[in-house]
Structure 1
Amino acid sequence: MKISSLNTIESAHDDSIWTATWVPSDAGPPYLLTGSLDECVRVWNPDTLENIHTNSGHCLGVVSVAVHPSGRIAASASIDSFIRVFDVVTNNTVATLEAPPSEVWQLNFNPQGTTLAVAGGSSTAIKLWDTAQWQLIGTLSVPRPEGLKPSEKSNSKKFVLSVAWSVDGQRIACGSMDGTISIFDVARAKFLHHLEGHCMPVRSLVYSPVDARVLFSASDDGHVHVYDAEGKTLITSMSGHASWVLSVDVTPDGQAIASGSSDKSVRLWDLKMRTATQILNNHTDQVWAVAFGPPGRTDVRSCLLASVSDDKSIAFYQYS
Structure 2
Amino acid sequence: MKLAGLKSVEGAHDESAWAAAWVPETDTRPSLLLTGSLDETVRLWRPDDLELERTSTGHCLGVVWVAAHPSGVIAASSSLDSFVRVFDVDTNATIATLEAPPSEVWKLQFNPKGTTLAVAGGGSASVNLWDTSTWQLIATLQIPRPEGPKHSDKSGNKKFVLSLAWSPDGKRLACGSMDGTISIFDVARAKFLHHLEGHFMPVRSLAYSPIEPRLLFSGSDDAHIHMYDVEGKTLAGAMSGHASWVLSVDVAPDGAAVASGSSDRTVRLWDLGMRAAVQTMSSHTDQVWAVAFRPSGGSSRGGRLASVSDDKSISLYDYS
The interval holding the TM-score normalised by the smaller chain is over 0.9
Q: What secondary structure, in the 3-state scheme, does the structure 1 residue paired with 2:127 have?
A: strand
Mapped contact 1:80–1:103 kept (Cα < 8 A): no
CA distance in structure 1 between the partners assigned to 2:239 and 2:151 by the alignment: 32
CA distance in structure 1 between the partners assigned to 2:229 and 2:187 by the alignment: 18
Mapped contact 1:112–1:169 kept (Cα < 8 A): yes
After superposition, residues 59-78 of structure 1 pair within 5 angstroms as: 59-78=60-79
Q: Tell me what 1:112 maps to.
A: 113
Query: C-alpha deviations, 1:156-180, integer Å up to 9, x for none?
Result: 0000000100000000000000100
Q: Tell me what 2:47 maps to.
A: 46
Mapped contact 2:82–2:99 kept (Cα < 8 A): yes
TM-score, length-scaled by structure 2: 0.97
Q: Tell me what 1:253 maps to.
A: 254
Q: What secondary structure, in the 3-state scheme, does the structure 1 residue paired with 2:158 have?
A: helix
After TM superposition, the structure 1 stretch with the greater mean CA deviation from structure 2, 144-153 or 205-214, is: 144-153
CA distance in structure 1 between the partners assigned to 2:77 and 2:237 by the alignment: 32
State whether structure 2 residue 319 is matched by structure 1 residue 319. yes
State whether structure 2 residue 103 is matched by structure 1 residue 81. no
Q: Tell me what 2:21 maps to.
A: 21
Query: C-alpha deviations, 1:173-212, integer Å up to 9, x for none?
Result: 0000010000000011100111000010000001111222
After superposition, residues 1-320 of structure 1 pair within 5 angstroms as: 1-27=1-27, 28-148=29-149, 151-295=152-296, 302-320=302-320
Query: C-alpha deviations, 1:40-72, integer Å up to 9, x for none?
Result: 000011334221111110011100100000010
Q: What secondary structure, in the 3-state scheme, does the structure 2 residue paired with 1:152 have?
A: coil
Q: Quick one: structure 1 residues 101 and 243, their matched pair in 2 at CA, closer, same or farther if it must change by over 3 Å?
A: closer
Question: How many residue pairs get matched?
Answer: 319
Query: C-alpha deviations, 1:95-150, integer Å up to 9, x for none?
Result: 00001154201000000100000000001000000000000000000000012368
Mapped contact 1:127–1:138 kept (Cα < 8 A): yes
Mapped contact 1:223–1:239 kept (Cα < 8 A): yes
Mapped contact 2:81–2:102 kept (Cα < 8 A): no
Q: Quick one: structure 1 residues 298 and 79, their matched pair in 2 at CA, closer, same or farther if it must change by over 3 Å?
A: closer
Task: State the AA in 2 paired with 1:272.
Answer: G
Q: Which runs of 5+ in 2 are unaligned?
A: none
CA distance in structure 2 between the partners assigned to 1:220 and 1:149 by the alignment: 17
CA distance in structure 2 between the partners assigned to 1:268 and 1:281 by the alignment: 12
Q: What secondary structure, in the 3-state scheme, does the structure 2 residue paired with 1:43 have?
A: strand
